[in-house]
Amino acid sequence: MAMSLLQYDFMVRALLAGLMIGVICPAVGVFLVMRRYAYMADTLSHVSLAGIAAGLLLGLFPPLTTLALALLAALVIERLRAAGRLYGEAVLALVMSSGLALAVVLISFARGFNIDLMSYLFGSILTVGPADLLLILLAGLLVLGLIAYYYKELYFISFDEECARVAGLPVDRLNLLFILAVALTVSVALRVVGTLLVGALMVIPVLTAQLLAGSFRQVFTGALVLGVAVSLGGLTASYYLGTASGGSIVLLAAALFVLVQAGTALRRKLRRQSQARCERENAPVTDCGEQAG
C-alpha cells in the first residue's frame, strides 16, 4: 500500500512537502500559543488569499506574490503592535479584514481560475509542483534555522517580554524576525493545507502536546511529532479518500486532540476515585498517590 503512494511523483512531492510543513507549522505555533497570539496565523492566511488572487490575476507565480503580501502584512502587524496604540487582537482584526476585503476585490476582477483557487483555499495533493516543493523546503530550512538559533531568546520573550527587555535582549528585532518566520510558514503551507486551515495546523498539535507534556521542551518536541504524524496521515487519507488534503490533515489533528483530551479526563477521574477510596480506607497520602499513579 505504501508503494502505491510512492509510485506517483505528485504524491512523493506532497509527502515531502507535508513532512516539512508538519514540522515548521507547530514549531512556530508553539511560540504563538505561548504568546496568546494564535490568531496570527489565521490573519496572515486570510491576507495570503489576496496574494494568491493577485498572482493568478497578474499571471505571476502565486506562491511568490503570496509570500510578498504575507511579509508585508507581518511588517504592518508588528509595527502597529509595537506602537502600543492598539491591542494585539485589534491589530489582527484590522489586518485580517483589510486583507480579506482586498482578496474579494481582486477575485471579483479575475475570471477563469476558480478551480485553481479552490486548491489554495482547502489544499490539494495534486498541485504541489517541483517549484512549490523547492520553495517549501527552502523556506522550511530557513524557518527551522531561525528557531534553532534563537530558541532560548524566543522562549524568554514568549513568557515575559518585559523581563527580556530588561535583560538586554533585542526584543523588537527578535519579534520582527519571528513574525516574518510566521508569514513565511503560512505562505508556503497554503498549497498543502489551504488558507482556511493553515492556522489550525499551527495550533492544534501544540494544544494536544500541552495535554501530554510537562515542560516547554516536551511540548515543543511533542508538537513537532504530532504535526508530522497528522500531516503525513492526512495526506495519505486524502489520497485514498479523494478528499481535500487540508481538511483531512486538520480533521485528523482535531480527532487526535479529542482522544487525548478524553484520555486525560478519564485518567484524572480514575485518580480522583482512587484517592477518594484511599481516604475512605484511611490510607496514608503517599500510598494513595502511588495507587492513583
Q: How confident is the model at residue 283 (pLDDT cuts 50, 70, 90)?
A: low
pLDDT given at position 284: 56
Residue 8: give the domain boundaries: 2-292
CA 266 – CA 202 distance, rounded (Å): 26
Q: How confident is the model at residue 105 (pLDDT cuts 50, 70, 90)?
A: confident
Q: Which three cell numbers stand for residue 164?
A: 527580556
Who wins on pLDDT, 216 or 87? 216
**Cα–Cα distance between 79 and 91 in angstroms, integer?**
10
DSSP the chain: -HHHHHTSHHHHHHHHHHHHHHHHHHHHHHHHHHTT-THHHHHHHHHHHHHHHHHHHHTS-HHHHHHHHHHHHHHHHHHHHHHTSS-HHHHHHHHHHHHHHHHHHHHHH--S-HHHHHHHHH--SSS--HHHHHHHHHHHHHHHHHHHHTHHHHHHHHH-HHHHHHTT--HHHHHHHHHHHHHHHHHHHHHHH-TTTHHHHHHHHHHHHHHH-SSHHHHHHHHHHHHHHHHHHHHHHHHHHT--HHHHHHHHHHHHHHHHHHHHHHHHHHHHHHHHHHHHTT--HHHHHHHH-
pLDDT bin (cut points 50, 70, 90) of residue 14 is confident
At residue 94, the pLDDT reads 86
pLDDT in tens, 210-245: 998 888 899 999 999 999 999 999 998 888 888 888
Measured between alpha carbons, how far is 189 from 14 in angstroms, rounded to an integer? 11
Q: Quick one: pLDDT at residue 197?
A: 83
Split into its structural domains, the chain has a count of 1
Mean pLDDT of 116-123: 71
C-alpha distances out from residue 144 to 33, 149, 153, 277, Å: 17, 8, 14, 49
Contact 29, 224 (CB under 8 A): no
Whether the pLDDT of residue 286 is over 60: the answer is no
149: pLDDT strictly greater than 90:
yes
In terms of Cα–Cα distance, which of 58, 35, 14 is closest to 206?
35
For cell 497520602, name the residue. 285
* pLDDT (0 to 100) of residue 292: 42
Q: How confident is the model at residue 29 (pLDDT cuts 50, 70, 90)?
A: very high
Give the mean pLDDT of 118-124.
74
Q: How confident is the model at residue 259 (pLDDT cuts 50, 70, 90)?
A: very high
Cα 276 to Cα 258, 262, 268, 273: the distances in Å are 27, 21, 12, 5
pLDDT digits (tens, 9 = 90+) for 44-82: 888 888 888 888 788 777 778 888 888 888 888 878 877
Q: Residue 234: name the closest of 244, 225, 220, 224 by CA.
A: 244
Q: What is the sign, positive or negative, of the torsion defined by CA atoms of 217, 219, 225, 227? A: negative
Cα dihedral value 55, 136, 207, 118, nearest 10: 40
Q: What is the CATH number of the domain that holds 96?
A: 1.10.3470.10
Residue 1 carries which side chain, given as an amino acid letter? Answer: M
Residue 141 has pLDDT above 70, yes or no: yes
In the block, residue with C-alpha cell 511533542: 222
Residue 134 has pLDDT above 70, yes or no: yes
Task: Report whether pLDDT(145) > 90.
Answer: yes
* pLDDT band, residue 143 (cuts 50/70/90): very high
Tell me the pLDDT tens digit for each residue of 153-212.
999 988 888 888 888 888 888 988 998 899 889 888 887 887 778 888 999 999 999 998
Query: For 12-27, what is the mean pLDDT?
Result: 90
pLDDT at 5 over 80: no
User: Mean pLDDT, to the nearest integer, of 17-31?
Assistant: 92
What pLDDT score was predicted for residue 204? 93
**What percentage of the chain carries pLDDT values higher than 70?**
89
Q: Which of 228, 203, 182, 240 is nearest to 15 (CA)?
A: 228
